[in-house]
Structure 1
Amino acid sequence: MKVPSVGEKLSPQDVERLRAGMALQMDHYAGGRLPFSCLKARGLVQHMVPLEGPDAGLVLEVMDASGGYASACLGAGHPRMQQALRDGLEDTGYVTDELGSLARVQLLEELFGPGGLWADRFPGDQYHASGRNSGSEGLELALRLVLETGFDRRRLSPKAGREGRRTILAFEGAWHGWTGGLVSLLNRRHYRLGLPQPTTEAPYGLEVSFLPYAEPEILERFFAENGSKLSAVFVEPIQGDGGIIVPPPGYLRRLAALCRENDVLLVADEVLTFAKTGRFFGMTDEQGPIPTDITVIGKSLGMGVVSTSMVIARRELSVRSSGAVSTSDLRPLTSAVLRSGLQYLVQEKLVERAGPLGEELRGRLKKDVVDAFPELFREVRGLGYMNGIELTEKSAGALTKLRTRVIEAGAFVEFMAGAGKRSHGLRYTFPAMRIAPPLIAGAEDLRELVARIQKGVRKFAEGTP
């Protein structure tokens, strides 16, 4: 298929081919997939065609504010990643974690060894790391590490003194993954009902309690009443699917202190926040790194080239022999890609500049989108390049049409579900438009992106066909 230039059209036969090919892939959206197809991409720009309507086949230039579920932090076709893949394929080999690998050693020592990039937070003599295919798999391993702390491997029985710690604290609106073990950490009946549920019966049963996120007083009361029953807390530093919820200052550090005081493991789900907030890790405040027992990173870690995640855990946390072997555990090619990409982020200071540029982005989104269309949007929230605009009830009811209009105006954004109905009498939170552009987006790119979002929203508000 020859790809026409922007403004030109595909033939009806090519449009039908794209429709038919799309139908061959399992639809995970119950018929709600977007009627667009991407033909090619480079950097922040994707060439897309609508598959339905009078403009079916018309090639559109669309700026990416998504990064492929926030994973392609270097955009599409980055030269550094092209070189990393070539070098990795030629030189690194393919050994599993049963053997050592030079590529793996180079990555890990540059991150956690003396003077390493993250050694101030995760010194190598106190932490170790494991790789997985995805964020969900990484969180599954984190959950396994938590459960193993309450198990005596020699006697094959509950560990003495931990028998009563069978509760995990999670948060309303959180998203930790689709897999069977993780849906128990989601307070969304839609994803749990009709599927096998983990047993809650002693001695090995798992119970999960849920609290509204970013509410300090509720958190304090819960620990005062239940701290001795907890085994772990799973937390996103900024809630993603909950609507880009940023906690108040001091909240995360106080949570870490409560966990430490009550002998509770703290698991940070940084799959989405990694490298997005103006720092590599969202578990950071003005005092510096906030201590965690287990941290899971992903998405941007793979630079949009490989699907991967990394679990960083205290060295005393491990699993029984061969109980967490993975085909994908920091394979040499993956390690080479990660190492080259992280080096590039540091050299170009892309993570740091996302802090001030993100603040400017939120200012423009507030002025040109939220304030300009108060009947459609409630507020803008975020840090760095991880931002969300909460919808009102009116716009949430026509979310697909809104998103379509924004794509037609030349911007690709995603929408987060929102926390919905929350406990403790807190207000309902509606879905949020997520604006999480690749880190290569500069100031001029962000200005153009906001202009295109505003144009699409105006078309939606005016009801223009």
Structure 2
Amino acid sequence: MKVPAAGETLGAEEVARLRAGMALQMDHYGGGRLPFVCLQAKGLVQHMAALEGPDAGRVVEVLDASGGYASACLGAGHPRMQEALRDGLERTGYVTDELGSLERTLLLEGLFGPQGLWADRFPGSAYHASGRNSGSEGLELALRLVLESNFDRRRMAPKPERAERRTILAFEGAWHGWTQGLVSLLNRRHYRLGIPLPPVEGPAGLDVQFLPFGEFEHLETFFAEHGRKLAGVFVEPIQGDAGILVPPAGYLRRLAALCREHEVLLVADEVLTFAKTGRFFGMTDAEGPIPTDITVIGKSLGMGVVSTSMVIARRELSVRSSGAVSTSDLRPLTSAVLRSGIQYLSGEGLVERTGPLGEQLRAQLRKDVAQAFPEVFQEVRGLGYMNGIELTERAAGNLGKLRARLLDAGIFVEFMAGAGRRSRGLRYLFPAMRIAPPLIAGEADLQEMVARIQRGVRTFVESGS
């Protein structure tokens, strides 16, 4: 199929073919998928066509402010990734984790070796790493590591001194993935009901408790009352699906200190925050790195080219023999892509510049979007290139129309569910528009994104939606 230029129109047969192709893919959105198709992309620009309505088939140029679930940090078709794929296919091979690999060695040595990029946080003498296909699989392995730390593999029974530690602390509104093992870490009925969950009682029981995110008093009280029963804590440095919730200063460091004090494993879910907060890791504050026992990174780690994640854990944490074998554990080609991409991000300073550029972006969003349309938005939150604008209750009921108007204005954004109803008397949190552009977006790109968001929202308001 020849792709028409922006402003031109696909033929009726081509539209019908694209509709049929979309119908062949399982719909995970309950009939709420957007009736648009991406025809081609380069950098931040995507050429899309509507599949429904009076403009069906019309090709529009769309600026990407989402990065494909915030994963395509180098946009589409980046030359560095083309080079990495060509080189990797030609020379790296495909051995599994049962054998060593030169490319895997180069990647891990460059990250965790004595002079490694992340050696100050994760020295190879104290940490080791494993690769997985996705963030969900990475968090599944993290959960296994926590549970097996309480297990005596020789006796095949819980360690007597850790037998009471069957509680996991998670946070309201969190999103760690929707595989069966992780559903228990979500406090949302929509994802939990009808899905078999681990039993709470018995030696293999798992009790998950939830707290509102970012509240010091509730955290202190919980550890004082339940610290001796805790096995692990799962936390996002910035809550993504809850609406880009940034914790107050000192909260994450205090959480880490409480975990050390009570001998609790701290798991940082950095699948979304990786490389987007002005630093590679969101578990960082003015004092420097915040210590964790397990850190899971993903999304931008794959540069938008491969779907992958990495679990970085203290060396004493592991699972029973063959219990974590994965077909995809840092295959050589994946390692080549990661190594080349991380070197590029670091060498070009793309991660660091998201700090000041993100501040400018939020200032523009507050002035030109949130304050300009108070009937649609109520709060701007974020850090670096992770930004959210919470909707009002009225606007949240018209998300489909809002997204269509934004696409018509040439901008693609994603929407987060929001934390919803929270405990302890905290206010309801409605869905939020997420602006998490690829890291290649510069100042002019961000300004254009805001301008297009503003145009789309204005059309939405003027249409009486």
* TM superposition score category, shorter chain reference: over 0.9
Which residue does 2:237 correspond to in 1? Answer: 237
Which residue does 1:295 correspond to in 2? Answer: 295
What is the CA–CA distance in structure 2 between the aligned matches of 1:300 and 1:357, rounded to whole Å?
18
- Deviation track 1:392-423 (CA, whole Å, cap 9, x = no partner) reads 10100101111110111011000000000000
- Name the amino acid aligned to 1:67: G
Which residue does 1:68 correspond to in 2? Answer: 68
Which residue does 1:383 correspond to in 2? Answer: 383
- Name the amino acid aligned to 1:230: L
- Deviation track 1:140-191 (CA, whole Å, cap 9, x = no partner) reads 0000000001110001111120011000000000000010000000001111
Which residue does 1:33 correspond to in 2? Answer: 33
Which residue does 2:216 correspond to in 1? Answer: 216
Which residue does 1:430 correspond to in 2? Answer: 430
What is the CA–CA distance in structure 1 between the aligned matches of 2:386 and 2:248, rounded to whole Å?
16
Which residue does 1:316 correspond to in 2? Answer: 316
Q: Aligned-pair distance for 1:201? A: 1.4
- Deviation track 1:51-75 (CA, whole Å, cap 9, x = no partner) reads 1111111100000011110000000
Which residue does 2:463 correspond to in 1? Answer: 463
Structure 1 residue runs of 4+, over 4 Å off?
Answer: none
- Name the amino acid aligned to 1:97: D
Which residue does 2:342 correspond to in 1? Answer: 342
What is the CA–CA distance in structure 1 between the aligned matches of 2:170 and 2:216, rounded to whole Å?
14
SS in 1 for 2:388: strand
- Is residue 86 of structure 1 aligned with residue 86 of structure 2? yes
TM-score (norm 1): 0.99
- Name the amino acid aligned to 1:22: M
Which residue does 2:328 correspond to in 1? Answer: 328
Which residue does 2:454 correspond to in 1? Answer: 454
- Deviation track 1:65-122 (CA, whole Å, cap 9, x = no partner) reads 1111000000000000000000000000000000000000000000000010000000
- Name the amino acid aligned to 1:251: Y
What is the CA–CA distance in structure 2 between the aligned matches of 1:197 and 1:272, rounded to whole Å?
25
What is the CA–CA distance in structure 1 between the aligned matches of 2:445 and 2:66, rounded to whole Å?
14
Q: Aligned-pair distance for 1:375? A: 1.2
SS in 1 for 2:129: strand
- Is residue 159 of structure 1 aligned with residue 142 of structure 2? no
What is the CA–CA distance in structure 2 between the aligned matches of 1:160 and 1:100, rounded to whole Å?
37
What is the CA–CA distance in structure 1 between the aligned matches of 2:92 and 2:101, rounded to whole Å?
8
Q: Aligned-pair distance for 1:450? A: 0.2
Which residue does 1:364 correspond to in 2? Answer: 364
Which residue does 2:206 correspond to in 1? Answer: 206
- Name the amino acid aligned to 2:56: A
What is the CA–CA distance in structure 1 between the aligned matches of 2:216 and 2:392, rounded to whole Å?
26
Q: Aligned-pair distance for 1:442? A: 0.3
What is the CA–CA distance in structure 2 between the aligned matches of 1:407 and 1:237, rounded to whole Å?
30
- Deviation track 1:416-454 (CA, whole Å, cap 9, x = no partner) reads 000000000100000000000000000000000000000
Which residue does 2:403 correspond to in 1? Answer: 403
What is the CA–CA distance in structure 2 between the aligned matches of 1:408 and 1:229, rounded to whole Å?
53
Q: Aligned-pair distance for 1:464? A: 6.9
What is the CA–CA distance in structure 2 between the aligned matches of 1:140 and 1:464, rounded to whole Å?
45
What is the CA–CA distance in structure 1 between the aligned matches of 2:271 and 2:407, rounded to whole Å?
26
- Deviation track 1:320-342 (CA, whole Å, cap 9, x = no partner) reads 00000000000000000000000
What is the CA–CA distance in structure 1 between the aligned matches of 2:449 and 2:12, rounded to whole Å?
30
Which residue does 1:118 correspond to in 2? Answer: 118
- Deviation track 1:198-227 (CA, whole Å, cap 9, x = no partner) reads 111121100000000011111111111111
Which residue does 2:178 correspond to in 1? Answer: 178
- Name the amino acid aligned to 2:441: A
What is the CA–CA distance in structure 1 between the aligned matches of 2:220 and 2:405, rounded to whole Å?
44
SS in 2 for 1:96: coil
What is the CA–CA distance in structure 2 between the aligned matches of 1:192 and 1:333, rounded to whole Å?
36
SS in 2 for 1:429: coil
What is the CA–CA distance in structure 1 between the aligned matches of 2:201 and 2:261, rounded to whole Å?
27
Which residue does 1:15 correspond to in 2? Answer: 15
Which residue does 2:251 correspond to in 1? Answer: 251
- Deviation track 1:209-249 (CA, whole Å, cap 9, x = no partner) reads 00000111111111111111100000000000000000000
Which residue does 2:189 correspond to in 1? Answer: 189
What is the CA–CA distance in structure 2 between the aligned matches of 1:430 and 1:398, rounded to whole Å?
12
Structure 1 stretch displaced more, 187-196 or 303-312:
187-196
SS in 1 for 2:162: coil
SS in 1 for 2:208: strand
Which residue does 1:263 correspond to in 2? Answer: 263
SS in 2 for 1:182: helix
- Name the amino acid aligned to 2:384: G
What is the CA–CA distance in structure 1 between the aligned matches of 2:463 and 2:198, rounded to whole Å?
47
- Count of residues in Structure 1 that have an aligned counterpart in Structure 2: 465
- Is residue 5 of structure 1 aligned with residue 17 of structure 2? no
Q: Aligned-pair distance for 1:195? A: 1.4
- Name the amino acid aligned to 1:441: A
SS in 2 for 1:388: strand
SS in 2 for 1:445: helix
Runs of 5+ consecutive residues of structure 1 not aligned to the other structure? none
SS in 2 for 1:60: strand
TM-score (norm 2): 0.99
What is the CA–CA distance in structure 1 between the aligned matches of 2:181 and 2:413, rounded to whole Å?
29
What is the CA–CA distance in structure 1 between the aligned matches of 2:160 and 2:315, rounded to whole Å?
21
